[in-house]
Copies of this chain bind each other. A is one copy, B any other.
Amino acid sequence: MQKELIYMTKSIDFYFDVISPYSYIAYKRIKNDYSDNKIKFTLKPILLGGLHKLAGITAPAFNEFKMLNMKNDCELVAKKNNIDFQWNTNFPINSINIMRGFILIENQFKEKYLNGFFDAYWKDNNNLSKSENFLHILDNLGFDKANILNGIQNENIKDQLKKLTNEAFNKKVFGAPTFIVNNKIFWGQDRLEYAIEEFVN
Contacts and interface: CB of A to CB of B under 8 A. Distances in A.
A190 interface: yes
Contact of A76 (B55, B56, B68, B194): B194
A27 B64 CA distance: 27
Contact of A55 (B65, B73, B172, B191): B65
A187 B69 contact: yes
A194 B80 contact: yes
A66 interface: yes
Contact of A65 (B68, B72, B172): B172
A185 interface: yes
Contacts of A55: 63, 65-66
Nearest to A190: B190
A174 B69 CA distance: 9
A58 interface: yes
A80 B18 CA distance: 30
Interface string A158-183: 00000000000000101000000000
Interface of A: 55-58, 63, 65-66, 68-69, 72-73, 76, 80, 172, 174, 185, 187, 190-191, 194
24 contacts: A55-B63, A55-B65, A55-B66, A56-B63, A56-B65, A57-B63, A57-B65, A57-B66, A58-B58, A63-B174, A65-B172, A65-B174, A66-B174, A68-B172, A69-B172, A69-B174, A69-B185, A69-B187, A72-B185, A73-B187, A73-B191, A76-B194, A80-B194, A190-B190
